[in-house]
Structure 1
Amino acid sequence: MTALGFLYPGHSAEDDYPRIEQLLGSDIRVDLVHTDVGEDARKLDALRELGAPQRLAAGVQELRHAGADAVVWACTSGSFVHGWEGAHEQVRTLAHTAGMPASSTSFAFVHAVRELGLRRVAVGATYPDDVAGLFVDFLAAAGVEVTAVRSSGTGAAAEVGTWGEAEVLALARTADTPDAQAVLLPDTALHTAAHITALEEELGKPVLTANQVTVWEALRLADRRVNAPELGALFTREPLVQV
């Protein structure tokens, strides 16, 4: 049994995780611990506080007791707002506190892009423009070119959590550009696990979503590779795109 541990802020789209667990197979367990959100606002100071060491440390002991093999901070904006070096320090601190391999959703996107051999991506962000711009900067630091970014400017995770398939498809569609090799939807508050096949069929290219890449990253840390086509190109055995 491989046990994957996740620190998830709040309750906006946590039901993506048991859905993904069902698609991975009976020998993989997904353990989710909720962290304190504080102020649910897409403002830089609130987002930096969201991923503060004490907030993450509060949930680690429960994951250790559950026997997790790896832990991922299941939040994109709460990691990339610290910048490339700051996000690395956040993960190093988490790994030290947890006593196990650790990562975050921001790095999950970087590793997933590399897994698929991509260089150019479009971004469909639910964040305000200034926050979305920091995600673009984070990707640029990893050598990933962003062809376009579409920001919906949504102010709270709770609002994003109410979006359905139509809203998710619209965001991905408006973000996409012909020269983008994939579309990234970087918000763990967004329900996407049930829509990945439809997204990739609609756009004709890989679509990487926050909760999807977060689980994939935990599997990578645990040295597991799972073929789950319903979770998109990232979960097939061979990358769809070679550059």
Structure 2
Amino acid sequence: MPAERPTVVATSGGFRRAERGGLDLAGLVHHAVDRARVPAGRRPRLCWLGTAGGDQRARSADVHDAGWRAGVDVSVLDLFPMPSVGDVRAHLLAQDVVWVGGGSVVNLLAVWRAHGLEGPLREAWEAGVVLGGVSAGSICWYAGGTTDSYGPQLRAVTDGLGFLPYGNGVHYDSEERRRPLVHALVGDGTLGETHCTDDGVGLVYEGTELAEAVAEVPGRGAYVVRREAGGVVETRLEPRLLPPDGTWRRA
């Protein structure tokens, strides 16, 4: 069964270092699988898009292995040097979760648009495939956010896919320039209301409404930044702490 409503899980996390090397799926990816309502008796299907990192084969292999250990069937949609599947739309619609990795959100958006992915991704979202991702893979679903795609000095990106009509700030606690730039961009109107995550935190949207903040790491926060009459106001949201391996495995 697909998710009950179009769902996005936008994060600054999702993976952890595996005990014997490589990566394991962490709570935020497991939560995206939970949201997908996979039928009993079938392994979840997750499509990994590593476009923002240039479709690195080593990272794709790590994600594939992490899925295998967790009981998730991972497929990889590469766009370099050409799409790795014959029918991109059909492939995306056949997934339970589409998870997008980090890297350059500016390059990601350019390549996706060159290959016409915006329409199929929206169709998958509206059909109940859970869309998620980390960092660039979070910002892409919003109207815009802050990025280091152009260089070490952070800049605004304002041409996200816009499935979610907000700005997005990632790595809010670990990269000291993120918060002041978000406040400046909201203050001058470059970004509208902006939703931000500390590392290890995700924001869950049902349709375009923020449903909850969730975390795979205790003590971290999520934030809503708005421009009001008195200036820019930041409100902290306390996330719900997730189980490390999701609930679908215990269903």
TM-score (norm 1): 0.37
Answer 1 or 2: which has greater helix percent.
1
TM-score (norm 2): 0.36
In our comparison, the structure showing a higher alpha carbon Rg is 2
